[in-house]
Amino acid sequence: MRSKSVLTNSMIVAAFPLLLAAAVLLSQPLFAQVRGPMTGGIMTPPPTQRPAGLQFVGIDQHLNAEVPGNIEFRDELGNPVQLSDYFGHGRPVILNLGYYQCPMLCSELLQGLVGSMKALTFDLGKDFDVVTVSFDPRETTEMAAAKKRDIMKRYGRANTEQGWHFLTGRADQIEALTKAVGFQFQFDPKTNQYAHAAAIVMLTPDRHISGYFYGVEFSPKDLRLGLVQASQNNIGNVSDQVLLYCYHYDPMTGKYGAVIGNILKLSGLATVLIMGIFMFVMFRADRRYGHGSGHSSGGDAAGGDLRRVT
């Protein structure tokens, strides 16, 4: 009876990973399980369907495309730089396109990015870099420097200034970069402002586009997985690799969605391992129990003989 009880408990414990996997799968939205070819960004409807004044606003995804490294800018100190200066160090790069005098959207995006970065254990300037580029050629290095002071103060981590770069540039250089990543924007002379999408672009250490994240707030989980994947496994730990096996980047949503097959495979492997361990433990326990019972019976018999002799 004792062995049967242990076996039942073992089977219940072994089945727990499969039940957990089923709960995870049921909690995932249906669109996270859809896979298919992607030719354009989710924020890029056909030009004929865009509102007046927004015909050239959106994002066309260029996944895996290489961004040119010889594009020239000036950093927040006024120094001439090339985009390639921020690559080749084994770290992924988050590219943020906006403009420093944007009255609302760009500032909200930067604040959302800062909030997500603060939730990460990765260190800016050590594990990854951020490059913010103004697509307004009229903006100056003084504006870039002021924006950097504000953002770094919000970020609040010491010795990270070298990891976030705020750039300005000429119109032709800006166009080369925005065209390479598929970022489309449009100037409105009536309001003297730009209409543009809100997104960040994840780049690998060798300047290839790894993914796009839309909106002004970013899930720390998605941001972490995006950085790990873009780093080509140079950062992160074993847990991140397991999550990347179970969750894949979905260009349709700009998020990481669950992969049913991989989760079931991993859960099945865990179940087999747990059952094997419990069966081994039970077998060893039964053997010890059997030997103990045998010795006890022999002792009782010997004791009985001694009492009869006495």
pLDDT digits (tens, 9 = 90+) for 73-85: 999 999 999 999 9
Rounded average pLDDT over 165-170:
98
Q: Helix or strand or coil: residue 194? A: strand
Structure confidence by residue, pLDDT tens digits, 177-211: 999 999 999 998 888 999 999 999 999 999 999 99
Helices marked H in the chain — which ranges? 2-27, 105-118, 141-155, 171-181, 220-230, 238-246, 260-309
Radius of gyration of the chain measured on its C-alpha atoms: 29
114 or 257, higher pLDDT: 114
The pLDDT of residue 111 is above 60: yes
Cα 76 from Cα 236, distance rounded (Å): 30
User: Quick one: pLDDT band at residue 32, thresholds 50, 70, 90?
Assistant: very low
Q: What Å distances lie between residue 153 and 100, 114, 198, 219, 299, CA to CA?
A: 16, 10, 22, 21, 79
- The predicted structure's pLDDT at residue 209: 97
User: Quick one: pLDDT band at residue 65, thresholds 50, 70, 90?
Assistant: very high
* Two structure tokens written together for 246: 């179970």
- The predicted structure's pLDDT at residue 41: 45
Buried b (16+ CB within 10 A) or exposed e, 132-167: bbbbbeebebebbbebbeebbeebeeeebeebbbbb
132 or 45, higher pLDDT: 132
Q: For all residues of the chain together, what is the average pLDDT? A: 78
- The predicted structure's pLDDT at residue 267: 52
- The predicted structure's pLDDT at residue 54: 56
Q: What is the DSSP letter of 68?
A: P
* Two structure tokens written together for 189: 């002379």
- The predicted structure's pLDDT at residue 256: 75
- The predicted structure's pLDDT at residue 308: 46
Lowest mean pLDDT among 98-102, 177-181, 196-200, 282-286: 282-286
E strand or H helix that includes residue 190: none
User: Quick one: pLDDT band at residue 132, thresholds 50, 70, 90?
Assistant: very high
Structure confidence by residue, pLDDT tens digits, 209-245: 999 999 999 999 999 999 999 998 788 777 767 766 6
Cα 203 from Cα 129, distance rounded (Å): 10
The pLDDT of residue 97 is above 80: yes
Length of the chain: 310
Using an 8 Å Cβ cutoff, are 130 and 96 in contact?
yes
- The predicted structure's pLDDT at residue 234: 80
Q: What Å distances lie between residue 190 and 104, 194, 198, CA to CA?
A: 17, 10, 21
198 or 293, higher pLDDT: 198
- The predicted structure's pLDDT at residue 235: 85
Rounded average pLDDT over 127-142:
97
How many CA atoms, within 13 angstroms, populate the side-chain half-sphere of residue 265? 9
Cα 306 from Cα 143, distance rounded (Å): 102
224-227 CB contacts, 8 Å cutoff, 24+ apart: 224/120, 224/122, 225/249, 225/256, 226/202, 226/256, 227/92, 227/94, 227/120, 227/122, 227/127, 227/128, 227/202
User: Quick one: pLDDT band at residue 272, thresholds 50, 70, 90?
Assistant: low
